[in-house]
Amino acid sequence: MLSDIEIAQQTTLAPIETVAEKLEISKESVELYGKFKAKITLPEDKKAPLGKLILVTSINPTPAGEGKTTVSIGLADGLKKIHKNAVLALREPSLGPVMGLKGGATGGGYSQVLPMEEINLHFTGDIHAITTANNALSALIDNHIHQGNELGIDPQQIIWKRSLDLNDRALRHTVIGLGNKAQGVPREEGFDISVASEIMAVVCLARDLSDLKSRLAKIVIGYTYESQPVTVHDLQVEGALALLLKEAMKPNLVQTMEQTPAFIHGGPFANIAHGCNSVVATKAALRLGEYAVTEAGFGADLGAEKFLDIKVPNLEKAPDVVVVVATVRALKMHGGLASDQLENINLSALEKGFANLKKHVQNMQKYQLPVVVAINEFATDQTSELSLLQKLCQKIGVKAIRSSAWAEGGMGAKDLAQTVVDTINQQKADYKRLYQDYLPLEDKIKKVACEIYGAREVSFETNARKQLKEFEKNGWDQLPICIAKTQYSLSDNANLLGVPDDFVLTVREIVPKMGAGFLVVLTGNILTMPGLPKYPAALNMDIDVNGNASGLF
Amino acid sequence: MLSDIEIAQQTTLAPIETVAEKLEISKESVELYGKFKAKITLPEDKKAPLGKLILVTSINPTPAGEGKTTVSIGLADGLKKIHKNAVLALREPSLGPVMGLKGGATGGGYSQVLPMEEINLHFTGDIHAITTANNALSALIDNHIHQGNELGIDPQQIIWKRSLDLNDRALRHTVIGLGNKAQGVPREEGFDISVASEIMAVVCLARDLSDLKSRLAKIVIGYTYESQPVTVHDLQVEGALALLLKEAMKPNLVQTMEQTPAFIHGGPFANIAHGCNSVVATKAALRLGEYAVTEAGFGADLGAEKFLDIKVPNLEKAPDVVVVVATVRALKMHGGLASDQLENINLSALEKGFANLKKHVQNMQKYQLPVVVAINEFATDQTSELSLLQKLCQKIGVKAIRSSAWAEGGMGAKDLAQTVVDTINQQKADYKRLYQDYLPLEDKIKKVACEIYGAREVSFETNARKQLKEFEKNGWDQLPICIAKTQYSLSDNANLLGVPDDFVLTVREIVPKMGAGFLVVLTGNILTMPGLPKYPAALNMDIDVNGNASGLF
């Protein structure tokens, strides 16, 4: 069997100008980055009609694999097969996981976005620009303190962290500014992976350069000795940061293996951030495509909830349908099977695990959106399992369509595409937010925890309870919330698969992300700087004398 | 008077494809990065005739300014004015100084390379790729130790440092790996600015991808508990690092304000590295131009010496002429004037300061190369000063030509261009290295210190003397040397202007750069991570709603 990168390297791509031309993007709006990538600047056109928005999400991920990106890509290619003009809007991969465990993050098999080496490595430099802006801000903060500290920033109350787009556990907890008086002021510091930087969230939610600058200005970097918030605007560097992010704000156009256009732009974490590609990219896809296919990170409890409660108000357009991806293998794990038993037929485990899918489908229906289930097929799936899963879905009133896009590309997702189109035509989406921003902060947290995760109640640790009051005092409580929780369970305990009930969600800390425009609510211990495994993917990566890559899965 | 960025923004650029076309670069060899930047991959062609190589260097820099880059750009534009096909090969600017004190680093006035905002900010991402490869290696080292440390790397003897392309003094001395057993192994660490990374030097000296990989493999990252060197090859990650640097190896094509083609590629420090643009870029300029104009960092004692003793053997082509840039103002400072007295005529200070220029001219002649002096004119220069300087040069047998390229572009450097061409035609360059690599390490250091810097002798601190023996034992002593010394003086004391005599150069430490292929000899305290000033340039930077930059000088 060919590896993803081998399949990718066998594929003939269209020059990206041709892809742009077919979308009727004017030549002036296209900036090429090599032959197969481009940055696009669409002129403002308020009257442009928008396409239909398809949001792809999934059950809680398991080690068995769900393939949400693969299904998204396959679905867009499938729409093309039934003669619809579809445009993808996806996240750009972080280098950390690419070098670490995961290899590429550009789909798989015959449903990939290309050129996969370049998208997975530096792409058009967006994340590097974000890393640079993030760390320039850090350097400016420490320099401000070193040069007299006019603002009275308390080195022990700085919440802005440095970042690198790598998996590097040794940078989680550090001390900087050591040496002597000339080497800065000593303080504790930590590094996050760049995609966890608030600047990533800001770039992904900003409508345009002016919105970008005003969001950057609002970022709270820490507190004074009197515990008053200090913002980027206090440091007067929002202009410099916006300048560093100028190119990163432009969405990137690439293509699938079947030459379907794909915007790949922005990639914030789906726990401490909102987990979906940029507003500008999704808007571009909506303006250029009859159907825009987009994806939300992790499972529907994290990614889709945040898409619907955080991104949609900024996008000013809600999904017309939600596609929930599930696999027979993963549902069997949710039903209690161990990962080495997934090859065997086990209908009762499947039926038990179905509860996880059902909960996510019902959650999406709370937003008054039509839902379609996509079954991402694996070679080991048994017909009896596939038809049981379809029957179970039918019982709860949703269609479950098999997709073999991984093995067959768009042809394998034709049925799924047709069902999605029919659903959009037949069922009216009547998007309703889960909560209004003016609800008390505590109530907003309870609403998501109880209604989406299924928690019995929410408990606030002492510090978090104190913060509820402080945030109210600062006038920060009117923002939407972004709960950081494990992706592996509906609860805050990664080991509870299926549909945990009778659990209490514990809130540890609340972090203001005033630039992004949401409050991060931390439950459990969320790693914002991953580590490398014993044998990192990097050990297998290589390049030959002609510049051909290998080892990128 | 218009600022550099205002002049730049008023200039009409040719599409970069047109610039490439005029150089007869085939369409397949051009990868566009936006409308005005491109990466070029020239097919190997051993028989292609090479153009003439013009190396631009200068006296020791002073706060008065020399304008080496401005003269280089003006000279290339001047060659075009006299109907010669000239191509520039320059370094790419580091973001640290741009955000800090210096603003842009792309020439000035009417001699600039463009688009200056993009070249000064992220350009085509080369330095970001180098930063990423540098820090990926760090993460892999710390992960190796954390995961069992099979190679027995001693955390106290790691010489590989992390890097960021920023001025950030607080990162000079840090402790990482704090927290607990899961957060890595605690150790001391420091960050360098990315342009000081050995990977920058490797990219700039590598001939091609295969040379790149073999150089990366040889990098020594530290020592085992038994004090045996540990290389990148021992960690098995040269393939991954080379893959990360694939695009960064391709030279970048841009243009001057007068549409003269310019390769801007690579920018290593000129103290702890060799201080000139990449071998591949200079080679490209030599293959495409009748005349290739290139520049070496800092003064001729550092930049040109390293160009001639380190880069030329890798380039396999020596300069046909050396242009030494001087200004009346700077020579008056070398003659003892304070910076607030430079506006007044002072012929005796000029004559005294001329000694610095004379020493650099004579140094270049030791390599058996023809020399031309370029006088970079300032508005405050007096005719009597300019003619005195020309007379002094005449006395030592070199022509000194005035350049007003800053104010007038190529027209202001026509005479300089004509003189350079005449000199190449009339005087034979017969390049001879200052030392052979097989000389004992101590002798090589003495040779540069005494013959180029004018030191009376060299003293080795205890540790350095120990290293002389260790390096011999490791077989590392056969490499060329790269002395890190202040740029402001011929000596290792920044305050000694003019031509210091009777000084002893003190060697503190020797650092193996086995990938770059040279040994860094540290004298004095060389900062490899700059700091920001009290009012960093970043405070003035901004961007308007249409994406126009300001504050980049």
Q: What angle do CA A505, A519, A239 make, to 5 degrees?
A: 155
pLDDT band per the 50, 70, 90 thresholds, residue B102: low
- Cα-based distances in Å from A64 to A61, A341, A378, A380: 8, 11, 10, 12
% pLDDT > 90, chain B: 89
Q: Report the pLDDT value the prediction gives residue B195, as an integer from 0 to 100.
A: 95
A270 tagged catalytic: yes
Q: What kind and span of H or E run contains A508? A: strand A504-513
Residue in B507, B501, B497, B490 with CA at minimum distance from that of residue B452:
B490
Q: Which of B169, B191, B540 to mutate to test the interface with A (most CBs of A within 10 A)?
A: B169
Token pair, residue B73, equals 């750009």
CB of B383 within 8 A of CB of B281?
no
Contact yes or no for A399/A322 (Cβ under 8 A): no
Residue A131: list chain B partners with CB under 8 A.
128
Burial of B313 (0-12, 13-18, 19+ CB in 10 A): middle
Which residues lie below 8 Å from residue A333, measured CB to CB, with a gap of 6+?
A62, A63, A64, A339, A342, A353, A497
Distance CA B526, CA B482 (A): 13
**Residue A456 annotated as catalytic:** no
Query: For residue A96, which of A67, A65, A59, A131 has the smallest C-alpha distance?
Result: A131
Q: How far is CA A222 from CA A6, A464, A472, A511, B221, in A?
A: 48, 17, 17, 11, 36
Burial class (CB in 10 A: 0-12, 13-18, 19+), A441: buried
Return the structure tokens found at B70: 């401005």
How many other C-beta atoms lie within 10 A of the C-beta of residue B236?
14
What are the backbone dihedrals phi and psi of residue B24, each rounded to the nearest 5 degrees, phi first?
A: 60, 35
Among A274, A297, A275, A277, residue whose Cα is nearest residue A285: A277
**How far is A174 from chain B, CA to nearest CA, in Å?**
4
- Whether the pLDDT of residue B63 is over 90: the answer is no
Assign residue A544 a region: left if phi > 0, alpha if psi is -120 to 50, beta otherwise?
Answer: beta
Question: What pLDDT was estimated at residue A81?
Answer: 98
pTM: 0.96
Measured between CA atoms, the residue of chain B closest to residue A15 is B31
- Residue A64 annotated as binding site: yes
User: Burial level of B312, CB count in 10 A (0-12/13-18/19+)?
Assistant: buried
Q: Which residues of B touch A184 (CB under 8 A)?
A: 169-170, 172, 531
B70 tagged catalytic:
yes
Give the C-alpha distances (Å, rounded to integers) separating B511 from A398, B476, B515, B522: 67, 10, 12, 8
User: Does residue B553 have a pLDDT over 90?
Assistant: no
Mean pLDDT of chain B: 95
Residue-wise pLDDT tens digits, B512-550: 999 999 999 999 888 899 999 999 999 999 999 988 998
pLDDT, residue A168, reads 97
> Do B307 and B433 form a contact (C-beta atoms < 8 A)?
no
CB B515 within 8 A of CB B482: no
Q: Alpha carbon of B182 to those of A194, B143, B552: distances in Å?
A: 21, 11, 44
Bridge-based pairing of strands B504-513 and A174-176 is: unpaired
Instruction: Provide the pLDDT for residue A167.
Output: 96
Distances in Å between the alpha carbon of A168 and those of A177, A342, B141? 20, 33, 10
Percent of chain B having pLDDT more than 70? 99
Pairing verdict, β B252-256 and B38-40: antiparallel
Of B122, B143, B164, the CB nearest to A135: B164
Quote the crossing angle between the two packed helices A198-205 and A126-146, to the nearest 10°.
130
Of A35, A121, A132, the CB nearest to B165: A132
Cα distances (angstroms) measured from residue B289 to each of B20, B40, B120 = 12, 15, 25
Positions of E strands within B183-260 = 187-189, 191-193, 220-224, 229-231, 252-256
Going along chain A from its start, the domains and CATH numbers come out as 4-125+248-426 (3.40.50.300), 126-244 (3.30.1510.10), 441-523 (3.10.410.10)
The shortest C-alpha distance from A531 to chain B (Å) reads 8
Find the DSSP H helices in B367-450: 383-395, 405-408, 414-426, 441-447
Q: Is A484 in the active site?
A: no
DSSP assignment letter at A296: B
H-type alpha helices, A82-182:
95-99, 116-120, 126-146
In degrees and rounded to multiples of 5, residue A62 shows phi and psi of -130, 170
Q: How many CB atoms lie within 10 A of CB B257?
A: 24
Tens-of-pLDDT digits for all 553 residues of chain A?
788 888 988 999 999 999 999 999 999 999 999 999 999 998 877 677 899 999 999 999 988 778 999 999 999 999 999 999 999 999 999 999 888 876 567 999 999 999 999 999 999 999 999 999 999 999 999 999 999 999 999 999 999 999 999 999 999 999 999 999 999 999 999 999 999 999 999 999 999 999 999 999 999 999 999 999 999 999 999 999 999 999 999 999 999 999 999 999 999 988 889 999 999 999 999 999 999 999 998 999 999 999 999 999 999 899 999 999 999 999 999 999 998 999 889 999 999 999 999 999 999 999 999 999 999 999 889 999 999 999 999 999 999 999 999 999 999 999 999 999 999 999 999 999 999 999 999 999 999 999 999 999 999 999 999 999 999 999 999 999 999 999 999 999 999 999 998 999 999 999 999 999 999 999 988 889 999 999 999 999 999 998 899 888 7
> CA B165, B166, B172, B177 torsion: positive or negative?
negative
Query: Does residue B62 carry a pLDDT above 70?
Result: yes
| Sequence-ordered strand ranges (E) for A283-354 | 291-295, 321-326
Query: Does B48 have pLDDT greater than 80?
Result: no
The first and second tokens of residue A405, run together, are: 């896009």
Query: CA of B305, closest CA in chain A: separation in Å?
Result: 31
Residues B147, A534: C-beta atoms closer than 8 Å: yes
Spacing of C-alpha A184 from chain mean position: 36
Known binder of ligand: residue B68? yes
Question: Residue A112 contacts by C-beta under 8 Å, 6 or more apart in sequence?
Answer: A4, A7, A8, A11, A70, A73, A106, A256, A257
Q: Do B121 and A182 touch (CB under 8 A)?
A: no
Give the pLDDT confidence score for residue B104 in this predicted structure: 65
Active site residue A231: no
Chain B residues touching residue A166 (CB < 8 angstroms): 132, 135-136, 139
- Confidence check: pLDDT of B103 > 70: no
Residue of A163, A543, A546 for testing the chain B interface, max B β-carbons within 10 Å: A543
Q: pLDDT of B188-236, one tens digit each?
A: 999 999 999 999 999 999 999 999 999 999 999 999 999 999 999 999 9
CA–CA separation, B268 and B270 (whole Å)? 6
Of these residues, B38, B248, B270, B549, which one is catalytic?
B270
CA dist A244 and B222 (Å) reads 35
Q: Is B307 one of the catalytic residues?
A: no
Average pLDDT over residues B142-166: 98
Was A65 annotated as part of a binding site?
A: yes
Contact B34 A35 (CB under 8 A): no
Per CB-CB distance under 8 Å, the chain B contacts of A35 are 31
Point out the residue among B175, B189, B246 whose CB comes nearest to the CB of A547.
B246
Mapping DSSP onto H, E and C, the string for A337-371 reads CCHHHCCCCCHHHHHHHHHHHHHHHHHHHHCCCCE
**A-B contacts at Cβ under 8 angstroms:** 245
What residue has token string 């954390």? B146
Interface confidence, given as ipTM, is 0.96
Q: Which residue has the tokens 């790691």?
A: B158
Which residues does residue A39 pair with via DSSP β-bridges, in sequence order? A31, A252
Residue-level pLDDT at A63 = 83
Distance separating alpha carbons of residues A305 and A315, to the nearest angstrom: 15
DSSP state letters, B531-546: ---SS-GGGG-EE-TT
Per residue, the 3-state secondary structure of A363-406, as one string, reads HHHHCCCCEEEEEECCCCCCHHHHHHHHHHHHHCCCEEEEECHH
User: Active-site residue among A191, A263, A307, A406?
Assistant: A406
